[in-house]
Amino acid sequence: MPISLGSAVRTEFPYFDAHPGSVYLDSGATSQRPARVIDAEADFVRSDYAAVHRGSSMATGEATWAFENARDRVAGFVGAGERELVWTSNATDALNVIALGMADASLGLGGDRFALRPGDEIVVTEAEHHANLLPWQRLAAKSGATLRWVPVDALGLWTIDALREVVTARTRVIAFGHVSNVTGLIAPVADVVAVAREVGALTVLDACQSVPHMPVDVAALGVDFAVFSSHKMLGPTGIGALYGRAELLDELPPARTGGSMITVVSMESAEFLPAPHRFEAGTQPVSQAVGFGAAAEYFGQVGMDAVWAHESELAQVLVDTVRGVPGVRLFGPPAGERRAALVSFAVDGVHAHDVGQFLDDKAITVRTGHHCAQPLHRALGTPATTRASASIYTTRDDIAALGAALSDVRGFFGADR
């Protein structure tokens, strides 16, 4: 698919009609939504809004069908099987569902294969988003396990060889990002899964920055769990997804308990439904699920091979553009190496927040700060970076505008003297 995919689909996104001439390069944080996704959620609220899985009315049946049909769409989009996709409030919540379930298992509340004991190890990388770090820190503290991490180099990159040096026979969990939200590094998933299987460890994949940008088949990848968010893939906020192999989900203790996730309840005990509903206590984000399903359907119609081809080209344009500006340091894979379409950089003599404000004054939206990855930025030797990230509606003109504005930053702040 040629690079024109960006301009070809841009008219389907109302945001750009509301902000003519703007450049939106913050899709790694939250992507814009096409009109059909907005309409799908709004039409459900207008016509079919009701409680799901509660009662026997026609209204409940119609709402439940829409809710579960959305689940089928999202599950099919990522290659998950029947009963293998759980709704969560976001990807952060999904990671906590896994970690909290393992904490309960470690207390003897079911799921022996998930129980951790002192001396067991949890492995992450130094590049992780806080969402894929803090839950494991907490699990280690609760269970007595040891948290270990794979170090990154000066560009913020880690390698499979470095992972092998950290993993031991006591490793029980390896949690890692498919694509770094700071460097754009694409992890060698198959190699990580192979290392994990050698020691019998579970693999947890943070797929937030991969599912919206490249073909992802979680079953084919071989990971045990994966998480991703709707709002990063053209869908609503307030909903995410947890993929887990069915037999694992059925054994993992549910992190939250209450209505709608049980079979039998007495005053002394309760029995839980099979996955996925055992993890969906209480009232669910029904309309958001419908929007999430519509976003998955939209991506399916565009074709993820086309999306990846488009964004692969944009990735190299971003790298070349940023590297071509004097006084700007680019982190992540070097030019010519495979990476996602996002770049993080530092401008010599100018704080990232000032860079972001300057770009914002030029109607260019980027992300500034530590991007919920303080340990990684500490390793990079900078407290903050500026990040530009693309999506299917991003064009070469957007990136050219970024480059032109970036060339003026140091002069504006007097940092080129």
Q: Is 35 helix (H, G, I), strand (E, B) or coil?
A: helix
CA torsion 245→249→255→256, rounded to 10°? 120
Sequence-ordered list of residues with C-beta below 8 angstroms from that of 18, at least 6 positions apart, any chain: none
Sequence-ordered list of residues with C-beta below 8 angstroms from that of 392, at least 6 positions apart, any chain: 5, 6, 9, 234, 302, 307, 310, 311
Residues 48-51: contacts with CB under 8 Å, at least 24 apart = 49/286, 49/287, 51/283
Instruction: Determine how β-strand 225-229 pairs with β-strand 240-244.
Output: antiparallel
Q: Strands across the sheet with 202-206, in order?
A: 85-88, 240-244, 225-229, 202-206, 171-177, 121-125, 146-150
**Marked catalytic residue, from 38, 262, 372, 415:** 372
- Asked if 372 is an active-site residue, the reply is yes
Sequence-ordered list of residues with C-beta below 8 angstroms from that of 195, at least 6 positions apart, any chain: 160, 163, 164, 167, 174
- The structure tokens listed for 49 are 């809004």
- The structure tokens listed for 369 are 């700060």
User: Are the C-beta atoms of residues 345 and 386 closer than 8 Å to each other?
Assistant: yes
User: Are the C-beta atoms of residues 142 and 115 closer than 8 Å to each other?
Assistant: no
Count CA atoms within 13 Å of residue 78 on its CB side.
36
C-alpha–C-alpha distance, residues 41 and 240, integer Å: 15
Enumerate the active-site residues. 372
